[in-house]
Amino acid sequence: MQAPGELIHALQQGDEKAYATLVKTYGQMVYSTAFGFFNNRTDAEDLTQEVFLEAFHSINKFRGDSSVSTWLYRITVNKSINQLKKNKKREQLSGSLIPGGERTMWGHAKSPDAISENLERRHILHTAMDTLPELQKTAFILHKYDGLPYKEIAQVMNTSLSSVESLIHRAKINLQKKLIHYYTT
Amino acid sequence: MNCHFVHTHLLFYLDQEISPGEKEGLETHLGQCSSCKSLMEKIKPVYEQAGEPVSPSDGFFERLSSLPPGEKYPVRHSLHFISFVRRIAAVILFMLASTSLTLLYTSGQKQPTQYAGEEPFFERYFHELDEELADNDYYFLTATH
Ligand SMILES: [Zn+2]
């Protein structure tokens, strides 16, 4: 495997093979993070494409102050949050027009259409995660979906270690409340 | 230990982030309280979905890496279209402006400086449009690379 520094240098030279290596090396990582935000394949794939495109276009701005993975995580998180905001705006505009009550908080989870038990469980978890404030959600995804150590999460989110600890702690408390509420009402 | 303790420590128990004493007490309570036991049985598999391996559709990464990177890359059609239209408009305006300036010079009736004020207007217009487009890609984290 190419060393990250060499890979970046090759990318900055416009080497298309290096682009393929970048995708091969970091594709799964970016995809998993995006999936954490969107909980569906189509959106996660679209976002992954956008992340690599942006990485490629802004490669000359990459000065190596952070690791390649931190840089890519940052692009992924920013793009995911922006996209979720756009989706939310669109949903707010069209929500009242969509029949079937799919917009109610747990609506879809309780529908009989769930393909499998795990799919339904994942939907329940994501519905609860969607209620988390952005920063809590981001820290939780990087921790749980990417298995990043707190120190690296702090680098990605440009914050302190204690902030990350607090964000994840609060995220769990909030998720716990939502899940208990779902199963006891 | 009581139901309240279970309700406030459930996920921390699943993540093994409570003390051995608390863990023991919680497990004893689960053995005695059917509602907490049932709640735990429901929430555990849901919470375990976080971080379960996920994979994209077959051949996704191959497609992603074999596509030629650059402007032809098939994403953000709308934004690319706007930027394309903007460029065309800029070219047309530039041609119009340069043609009229040339005409003014050759006719010698008016000094082109009188019209120089026009250019900043267009510049400002496109600058504002740029900002508007940039706003759409609002970044909440400061992007230090
Ligand atoms: Zn109980």
A53 and A133 fall within a common domain: no
Chain A stretch 21-60, residues whose beta carbon is closer than 8 A to a beta carbon of chain B = 23-24, 27-28, 31-32, 35, 41, 44-46, 48-50, 52-53, 56, 58
CA–centroid distance, residue A123 to ligand 1 (Å): 26
Q: Which of A104, A133, A157 is the last residue of a domain?
A: A104
Reported ipTM: 0.84
pTM above 0.90, yes or no: no
Same domain, A160 and A83: no
Candidates B121, B14, B118; CA nearest to A180 is B14
- Residues A53, B69: contact at Cβ < 8 Å? yes
CATH number at residue A75: 1.10.1740.10
Residue B51: the pLDDT is 85
**How far is the C-alpha of A19 from the C-alpha of B98, rounded, in Å?**
41
User: What is the pLDDT tens value at each position of chain A, 185 positions in all?
Assistant: 667 778 888 888 877 788 899 999 999 999 999 999 999 999 999 999 999 989 988 888 888 888 999 999 999 999 999 999 998 888 887 765 444 333 345 554 444 444 588 889 999 999 999 999 999 999 999 999 999 999 999 999 999 999 999 999 999 999 999 999 999 98
Q: Are residues A128 and A55 in the same domain?
A: no
Is A59 in the same domain as A27?
yes
- Do A97 and A131 share a domain, yes or no? no
Do A125 and A91 fall into the same domain?
no
Distance CA B74, CA A32 (A): 21
Q: Which tens digit of pLDDT belongs to each residue from B60-87?
A: 999 998 655 454 433 334 445 556 667 7
Please check the confidence at residue B49 and state whether its pLDDT lies above 70: yes
My answer on whether A124 and A163 are in the same domain is yes
- CA-closest candidate to residue B56, choices A18, A128, A43: A43
Residue A96 shares a structural domain with residue A136: no
CATH number at residue A155: 1.10.10.10
Asked whether the beta carbons of A80 and A37 are under 8 A apart, the reply is yes
State the total domains in chain A: 2
My answer on whether A79 and A132 are in the same domain is: no
Of A104, A120, A150, the residue that ends a domain is A104
Per-residue CA distances from B83 to A3, A93, B68, B86, B130 (Å):
36, 26, 20, 5, 9
CB within 8 Å of chain A, chain B residues 50-79: 50-57, 60-61, 64-66, 68-70, 73, 75-76
Is the same domain home to A35 and A55? Answer: yes
Domain boundary among A82, A104, A126: A104
Residue A82 belongs to what domain range?
1-104
